[in-house]
Amino acid sequence: MKIVVIGGTGLIGSQVVVRLKALGHEVVAASPNTGVNAVTGEGLAQALKGAGVVVDLANSPSFEDAAAMDFFVRAGRNLASAEKAAGVAHHVALSVVGTERLLDSGYFRAKLAQEELIASSQVPWTLVRATQFFEFVGAIAGAATVDGVTRATSAAIQPIASADVAAKVAEAALAEPRNGMIEIAGPERMPLVELVKRYFDGVGDTRDVVTDDSAAYFGVVIDDRSLTPEGDAWLSEKRFEDWLSAQPKRAA
């Protein structure tokens, strides 16, 4: 089967491509640097010709409100149109656990708009909502650091390894469309401030970490429900400490 992975050269996309190719499928890793741009529509019709499944893993390069909305809405409309023209049977997209609870952020308003476009596109679909990736904990800590002090909330987070996300996305691509959502998360729920402390300890970062429940998560003040799954989510097995032990340490 031909499967087109939009954003197929990114963190998740590249892993999904490898997994699907290993199973014997014809996989197109589509991204602007391979001549396929979902936002402008460039190369979409040719890339989707003969495809049975499209996996959308593209992410906005900007978190600015208007730019993120423009990215996801234009890409969503272009993909829906191209998929219908090509007779694509299944659209799979990656989104974020808690999107509808994070709407103080323009980025998450844009992600919700993307989800709504997918659900109304008339192309059979599956949405995989994941919690934050282990690989982005350093960026979370960096965004929370001012003048050498990192302030993080005690609200809960339940991060997951990107490899486990890729595995579930690939699995969804080969399954029947759900016309609904799957939520996935890591095995451990912990305060965000504890996650940051564990990360710093693991990589040898000596920055001070302070618990501050007014500290924002990328501009949004969160609670225990904001970033964690509700109901019957699929939980991975890989723990944060296992991933962290394989990361390079900072030079002394």
In a domain, 251, yes or no: no
Domain hosting 16: range is: 2-246
Looking at residue 248, what is its pLDDT? 86
In a domain, 38, yes or no: yes
In a domain, 252, yes or no: no
Cβ contact 183:127 at 8 Å: no
Written as tens digits, the pLDDT of the chain (252 aa) is 999 999 999 999 999 999 999 999 999 999 999 999 999 999 999 999 999 999 999 999 998 999 999 999 999 999 999 999 999 999 999 999 999 999 999 999 999 999 999 999 999 999 999 999 999 999 999 999 999 899 999 999 999 999 999 999 999 999 999 999 999 999 999 999 999 999 999 999 999 999 999 999 988 999 999 999 988 999 999 999 999 999 888 755
- Work out how many domains the chain is built from and give that number: 1
In a domain, 57, yes or no: yes
Q: What's the CA gap between 11 and 78, in Å, rounded?
A: 23
Phi, psi of 135 (to 5 degrees): -65, -15
